Structure 1
């Protein structure tokens, strides 16, 4: 396992909610990342850890390899990969995202 993969694993397992995104929660750099942050805030997430993949190409590629998922944003809850913006949206509309975040 590479250093980047180890770091990603430590980050997602060491924090309850982690969002790998383009930009920051305050200044998202893409619409999908902005939507992901809105969904998490609407779900009552207070301790959101965001990782700006634009700051580090190794992390940007590394998180795609880690999850075997081709796009960013990527949401992790309690160390488990949940999905991207579209999946988050569907889960939010069904109430599944809020339930997952409460446990």
Structure 2
């Protein structure tokens, strides 16, 4: 199971980096989302969630599940949703103004 989670985190990170390096607005947004998902899965997997154990230590429980990674992932999901919404609005504004979602590194009027 650990190999599957580690492979999926590595694959999502690789896909995210590949998409970020493209020169289009939409793939960059999807790439950032993929890296965000990879980070969330990594943080959640590092918490060692155990099924059937309570998230807090009580007198009748022998062990407990650490609630901190779950809270961090939930907060990261909310923040990444807001970040994605802002990036989509910026990309749509740039698309409506320029008519294309290509990111030009060279300025046309500089010559």
- Normalised by the length of structure 2, the TM-score is 0.27
Per chain length, whose mean CA-contact separation is higher, i.e. which structure has more relative contact order (CA < 8 Å, sep 6+)?
A: 1
Specify which structure has the higher proportion of strand.
1
- Normalised by the length of structure 1, the TM-score is 0.28
Specify which structure has the higher proportion of helix.
2
